[in-house]
């Protein structure tokens, strides 16, 4: 057999070895138990602060039951895309409930948040248009903007003056401002009222990604916009259903006209199999739980305060976050990975987040709290973390 050259694969091997050398190689940790505060991994039980299951619904008995009921009623697959034959009454009911819950005229359900975010901008914008995006926005929003072929202008994190200048300077036909509501790696909240003001002044759309606010913030968990008391036809709300809602999927909500347009034009809605209707059934149940989970949200706020109090002597490493996302910034990639490993030795799982997910030099542990955690578990975390950080300062000094 002729020995053909295949240098492409060697290049991949070299790049992977380089990633190893610079502590940039990513690994998946295998879990042997459902998403919960106590997770089984590598034959051990560890205390996990690593999920986005903010309300502790991912393994809720009522939702597990609903999944079985949903499968009996609807089977397991939709069989086709929504516009062909995959749109069932339970999808429709979920959309109506979501729209009512967030106070919008209409909503459209997607299989994932990633797919929702690559749907909206390409449906609304083209080559002569411009997207104005916060530098720390989620990767899926960047991809959505790139797919739209509009110009992409990124402003410094939450810098409203920079954004105003960019909008003033723009001669684009259609403008869209896009932001995470709660920033996924920092946990802080975007200045939504000011963003809406700027959108109004410049007749722009405002796309708000509330992946981490939906279910957690606002009255009954209605999200970041409800928390800020904001409503407007120019707001496009994206929410995900795999985080606080504990399941999977996402939705876009807004005016009836907008939603009808997305239904006509969103490629990642049209050219994909519909979410299994059984999942829509589970999500309807999850939505009811969210609406009645004030006790869980109150407990979560107590845990957040407890974490920040417990970390008071390392306050310079915390970020200005009042949400369940509580990053502890280490800076160096290798040091971050080392601390995560040392904590894991003590049966505590905190994910190390490195570039390109976060800016260079700002590697961090991304602690996420859940209403399923107990106060004692959070105290266990702050005690162990405090000791690791203290030994880090000694070795660095």
Ligand X SMILES: *Cc1c(COP(=O)(O)O)cnc(C)c1O
Residues that bind ligand X (CB under 6 A): 112-114, 117, 138, 140, 180, 184, 209, 211-212, 240, 242, 250
Do 366 and 325 form a contact (C-beta atoms < 8 A)? Answer: yes
Our CB check for ligand X shows the closer of 239 and 389 to be 239
Give least dist CB 79 to ligand X, A.
22
Our CB check for ligand X shows the closer of 113 and 351 to be 113
Give least dist CB 248 to ligand X, A.
7
Instruction: In whole angstroms, give the CA distance from residue 397 to residue 395.
Output: 6
Sheet of 250-254, strand order: 106-110, 250-254, 235-240, 205-209, 175-180, 130-134, 151-155
What does the block give as tokens for 55?
């309300």
Give least dist CB 325 to ligand X, A.
9
Give least dist CB 133 to ligand X, A.
12
Our CB check for ligand X shows the closer of 148 and 382 to be 148
Our CB check for ligand X shows the closer of 52 and 388 to be 52
**What are the distances in angstroms from CA 175 to CA 118, 193, 230, 347?**
17, 18, 20, 48
Give least dist CB 102 to ligand X, A.
16
Which contiguous run of DSSP H or E holds residue 110?
Answer: strand 106-110
- Using Cβ positions, the residue closest to ligand X within the complex turns out to be 113
Give least dist CB 394 to ligand X, A.
35
What does the block give as tokens for 246?
């504990």
Give least dist CB 373 to ligand X, A.
20
Instruction: In whole angstroms, give the CA distance from residue 132 to residue 167.
Output: 8
Q: Dihedrals φ, ψ of 128, to 5°?
A: -90, 10
Do 307 and 103 form a contact (C-beta atoms < 8 A)? Answer: no
Our CB check for ligand X shows the closer of 70 and 239 to be 239
325 sits in the region (left: phi over 0; alpha: psi -120 to 50; else beta) called beta
Give least dist CB 243 to ligand X, A.
6
Our CB check for ligand X shows the closer of 49 and 114 to be 114
Active site annotation includes 202: no
- Residue 356, preceding bond cis, omega within 30 degrees? yes
Our CB check for ligand X shows the closer of 86 and 213 to be 213
Distance of CA 245 to the CA centre of its chain: 12
**What are the distances in angstroms from CA 295 to CA 31, 247, 372?**
29, 20, 11
Our CB check for ligand X shows the closer of 184 and 333 to be 184
Which residue of the set 51, 148, 184, 224 is catalytic? 184
Taking residue 194's Cβ as centre, other Cβ atoms within 10 Å add up to 13
Write down the residue that tokens 């397991």 correspond to.
Answer: 76
Sheet of 352-353, strand order: 325-331, 363-368, 352-353
Can you tell me whether residue 52 is helix, strand or coil?
Answer: coil
Specify the pairing of strand 151-155 against strand 175-180: unpaired
Which residue of the set 87, 138, 175, 243 is catalytic? 243
Which residue of the set 87, 212, 299, 314 is catalytic? 212
Q: Dihedrals φ, ψ of 332, to 5°?
A: -75, 135
Instruction: In whole angstroms, give the CA distance from residue 375 to residue 276.
Output: 37
Contacts (Cβ under 8 Å, ≥6 apart) of 216:
54, 55, 182, 223, 244, 297, 300, 323, 324
User: Which residues are known to be catalytic?
Assistant: 184, 212, 243
């Amino acid at each position: 057999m002729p020995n053909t050259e295949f240098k492409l694969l060697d290049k991949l091997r070299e790049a992977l070895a380089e990633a190893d050398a610079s502590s940039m190689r990513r690994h998946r940790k295998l879990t042997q138990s459902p998403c919960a505060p106590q997770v089984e991994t590598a034959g051990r039980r560890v205390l996990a602060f690593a999920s986005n299951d903010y309300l502790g619904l991912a393994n809720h008995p009522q939702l597990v039951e609903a999944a079985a009921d949903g499968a009996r009623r609807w089977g397991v697959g939709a069989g086709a895309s929504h516009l062909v034959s995959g749109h069932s009454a339970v999808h429709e009911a979920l959309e109506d409930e979501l729209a009512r819950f967030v106070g919008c005229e209409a909503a459209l359900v997607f299989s994932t948040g990633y797919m929702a975010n690559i749907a909206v901008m390409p449906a609304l914008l083209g080559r002569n248009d411009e997207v104005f995006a916060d530098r720390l926005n989620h990767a899926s929003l960047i991809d959505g903007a790139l797919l739209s072929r509009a110009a992409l202008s990124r402003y410094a994190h939450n810098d409203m003056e920079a954004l105003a200048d960019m909008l003033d300077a723009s001669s684009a036909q259609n403008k869209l401002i896009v932001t995470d509501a709660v920033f996924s790696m920092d946990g802080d909240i975007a200045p939504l009222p000011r963003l809406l003001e700027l959108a109004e002044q410049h007749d722009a759309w405002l796309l708000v990604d509330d992946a981490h606010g939906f279910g957690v913030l606002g009255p009954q968990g209605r999200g970041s916009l409800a928390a800020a008391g904001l409503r407007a036809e120019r707001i496009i709300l994206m929410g995900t259903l795999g985080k606080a809602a504990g399941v999977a999927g996402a939705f876009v909500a807004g005016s009836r006209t907008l939603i009808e347009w997305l239904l006509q034009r969103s490629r990642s809605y049209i050219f994909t199999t519909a979410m299994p209707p059984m999942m829509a059934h589970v999500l309807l149940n999850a939505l009811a739980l969210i609406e009645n989970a004030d006790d869980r949200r109150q407990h979560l706020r107590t845990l957040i305060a407890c974490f920040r109090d417990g970390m008071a002597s390392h306050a310079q490493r915390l970020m200005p976050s009042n949400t369940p996302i509580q990053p502890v910034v280490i800076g160096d990639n290798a040091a971050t990975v080392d601390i995560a490993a040392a904590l894991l030795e003590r049966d505590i799982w905190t994910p190390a987040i490195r570039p390109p997910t976060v800016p260079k030099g700002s590697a961090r542990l991304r602690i996420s709290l859940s209403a399923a955690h107990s106060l004692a578990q959070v105290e266990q975390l702050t005690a162990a973390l405090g000791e690791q950080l203290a030994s880090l300062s000694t070795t660095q000094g």
